[in-house]
Structure 1
């Protein structure tokens, strides 16, 4: 099950398309969907979580709490819509493209991909691009 919650004035268009895509992405990694909850929020909301739970006094685009057990992908993913907008501008891409990247980034972490080293980061980008390309693929 995938849930979308909104703590800001942003609302995802076509939630069903996103749910189908996320599910397809998980299945393409030979994993099963458990329960994913996305919370779309602003910088202030995400900053509070970053300070309170992770002891990081910085702004970020995504914070994820991984509840995956075995091959069943579950977790809570918090996304700052403000950061995504800024990053889209910084990376010279569209807001929708950057949003998809961030949405699937958390899921790829749950599937076991890391991004701490340069090599891991390259693999993560490749996986994100692969999944973004699947967005409108019907199963």
Structure 2
């Protein structure tokens, strides 16, 4: 796990808690022996990522880059590198206030959201895909503790 433009621990957020959420998400998605890079950043850093790779000159809450290509072949190695998840802590903090949840619950939601993108879920293709992804996201978030 890396941080860009922010320092952890921050408020109730620690590297250990974030790693625990990511590991629980991976286990629930049957990603055993997998490596996921999690980058916690500020809005400036994620805005640059968003502009460079998506052509959108604005910050966002979470961006994922999957190293897998459908149909997700099995790689014969001890540790498969699934991909990278970038999360803006600034955006997560604002959204936690907006949604009236703890910042750790919002970070959990963003980690799960990013993990779902890494395994092939995408809410931008259709309303049906968005509904399916949100149902899966809610299910996983309900099964993972934020503490």
List gaps (5 residues or longer) in structure 2.
75-80
- Mapped partners of 1:87, 1:23: distance in 2: 24
> What are the superposed Cα offsets for residues 94-132 of structure 1, whole Å, 9 maximum, x if unpaired?
211111111011111122212123222221121111111
- Measured after TM superposition, the shift of residue 10 of structure 1 is 3.0
Q: TM-score, normalised by structure 2?
A: 0.77
1:65 paired to 2:65: yes
- Mapped partners of 1:23, 1:129: distance in 2: 15
1:132 paired to 2:147: no
- Mapped partners of 1:92, 1:21: distance in 2: 23
Alignment-derived partner of residue 123 in structure 1: 132
Preserved CA contact (<8 Å) 1:26 1:33: no
RMSD: 2.0
Alignment-derived partner of residue 10 in structure 1: 8
Instruction: Give the 3-state SS of the residue equivalent to 1:59 in structure 2.
Output: coil
Say which structure, 1 or 2, has more relative contact order (CA 8 Å, 6+ apart): 2
Q: Please list every run of at least 4 consecutive aligned residues from structure 1 whose deviation after the TM superposition is greater than 6 angstroms.
A: none
Preserved CA contact (<8 Å) 1:10 1:81: no
- Measured after TM superposition, the shift of residue 53 of structure 1 is 2.1
- Measured after TM superposition, the shift of residue 19 of structure 1 is 4.2
Which deviates more, 84-93 or 71-80? 71-80
1:24 paired to 2:27: yes
Q: TM-score, normalised by structure 1?
A: 0.81
Alignment-derived partner of residue 87 in structure 1: 95
Alignment-derived partner of residue 39 in structure 1: 39
- Measured after TM superposition, the shift of residue 67 of structure 1 is 0.3
